[in-house]
Amino acid sequence: MDNFKELLLRKTDNPYLQTLIKCMRDDLLEKEVFEALIKMAEPPAAMGRGANSALTSYAGHMDNSDVEQLRDALGHHISHYKGALKSMHAATDPMQKAKLRGVADQHLNRIVPLMHIAGRAGKHSGGKMTLDYISTTPWESNYTTTHRHEHNGKLKEGTKDLGRRPAPNANREQNIRAVPDYLYLEMAPHSGHPMSETMPHKGGYPFEEVQLGSPSKRDTGQAYLPIEDIENKTEYTPHPFDFHPIHELGDHPEHKLTPEQKEKFINDISNWKSSEHHKKWLEDQKAKFKANPEAYRARGTKKPGHVFEGIPLQDQPEHVKVSATSDQPAPTTTAAPAAVKQQAASTPAAPAEDFDITKPPSDAAKPIVESWHALPEAVRREIHKYARKK
């Protein structure tokens, strides 16, 4: 540690910092340095790297209304996503359950890309905006696994945090590390991920922890998302920001942007504030303020409740369960009593199903087909039985 202190002292001419280094206890210095290294290694530390000219232009010209609009859009989609999930679990008709699962997925598919835009734009906003969130990688590892190559120790499928974009046609039966959707956020975090040991979050992803706004508001806990309770959710509800031109180019590498695309983006973003979508957003905000001025002013000052409170989580993949129990002693087995054996032998076997629950019925509607893999097995069976009766 003495050599490390000497190295730090050579790096600064500030007498106050030199005194601090000399007098700081070794264990305290070690803790502070280690925490700083952890922050540097986290995905948010590299969030602004590789941003293209469209994103830096959008971020550089931000004003307060742009920040609030992005925060409102994120809160909107999380609110409606939560509402659709609750409606789905409350529904009894399997066809309605399948439809509502599709509605929830439409909103869910907006959330992570929005957070990614906010995180990257914040790095180029000149201090006007910052995103504070819990990394999604412990949940993403449910799909990508924590398996590493033996020769170099690197993950076989690296996590991408907010940069993850699902491949809808990916087949997890053929590739257990494939990521076909964002349903990993509806699971418990992977127990084998390093963050899972120390963080308090053991359920679905904690969207309630997200803060988006100015650094000063973030630091004082006044930038939480406006997550609301949406009752009787049945249809997808777009947000005006869904039509912002940044969505068209935000994820593209700079070298793949054509001059025509750049010119179109400049024109589109210049006209955004006069667009019907932006005007609608302003009207919506005025209506909310008029309805309850006090509640509107208080938005963001209180942490919302857990999004998945009262909502059943998705089952984790089998490899996660195996990883969680691999260090546990094997359960002891005892011989079953003769009476139990005789009863089991006399119980007739359940009739074999003459349909494949891994695939939807051939005449299923598009929303059911698109959300099929996310539906519980019991719902899939009911839909097949319903299709047979038609």
pLDDT higher at 161 or 388: 161
Rounded-to-integer distance, Cα 87 and Cα 83, Å: 6
Q: With pLDDT > 70 as the criterion, what percentage of the chain qualifies?
A: 84
Q: pLDDT class for 151, splitting at 50, 70, 90?
A: confident
Amino acid at 18: Q
Residue 378 has a pLDDT of 67
177 burial level (CB within 10 Å; 0-12, 13-18, 19+): middle
Lowest-confidence region among 50-59, 112-121, 141-150, 360-369: 360-369
Residue 165 has pLDDT above 90, yes or no: yes
Radius of gyration of the chain (CA): 25
Lowest-confidence region among 82-86, 117-121, 292-296, 325-329: 325-329
Residue 285 has pLDDT above 80, yes or no: yes
Residue 385 has a pLDDT of 73
How far is CA 311 from each of CA 82, 182, 323, rounded to the nearest angstrom? 9, 16, 25
Q: pLDDT class for 153, splitting at 50, 70, 90?
A: confident
What average pLDDT does the structure give for the chain?
A: 86
Rounded-to-integer distance, Cα 15 and Cα 64, Å: 40
Which alpha helices (H) appear in the chain, and where do they start and end? 2-10, 15-23, 26-41, 53-60, 64-90, 94-123, 137-144, 215-219, 246-249, 259-270, 276-291, 293-297, 318-325, 338-346, 366-371, 377-389
Residue 325 has pLDDT above 80, yes or no: no
Residue 337 has pLDDT above 60, yes or no: no
Q: Kindly report the backbone phi and psi dihedral angles of residue 131, in degrees, each rounded to the nearest multiple of 5, phi listed first.
A: -115, 125
Residue 11 has a pLDDT of 80
Residue 382 has pLDDT above 80, yes or no: no
Q: Render pLDDT for 198-257 as a digit per residue (tens, 0 to 9).
A: 899 999 999 999 999 999 999 999 999 999 999 999 999 999 999 999 999 999 999 999
Residue 24 has a pLDDT of 80
Q: 132: which strand partners?
A: 211
Lowest-confidence region among 19-33, 299-313, 357-371: 357-371
| Angle formed at CA 382 by CA 381 and CA 387, multiple of 5 degrees | 100
Lowest-confidence region among 112-121, 155-164, 184-193, 276-285: 155-164
Residue 324 has pLDDT above 90, yes or no: no
Residue 299 has a pLDDT of 95
CB atoms within 10 A of CB 231: 8
Average pLDDT score over residue span 259-272: 96
| pTM, two decimal places | 0.79
Beta-sheet pairing, 211-213 with 130-132 = antiparallel
- For the chain, the residue count is 390
pLDDT higher at 352 or 361: 361
Average pLDDT score over residue span 145-150: 90
List the structure tokens of 281: 């957003």
CB-based contact 29:5 (threshold 8 Å)? yes
Residue 15 has a pLDDT of 81
CB-based contact 53:254 (threshold 8 Å)? yes
The H-or-E segment that residue 211 falls in is: strand 211-213
Q: Kindly report the backbone phi and psi dihedral angles of residue 315, in degrees, each rounded to the nearest multiple of 5, phi listed first.
A: -70, 140
Residue 343 has a pLDDT of 47
Residue 380 has a pLDDT of 74
Residue 328 has pLDDT above 50, yes or no: no
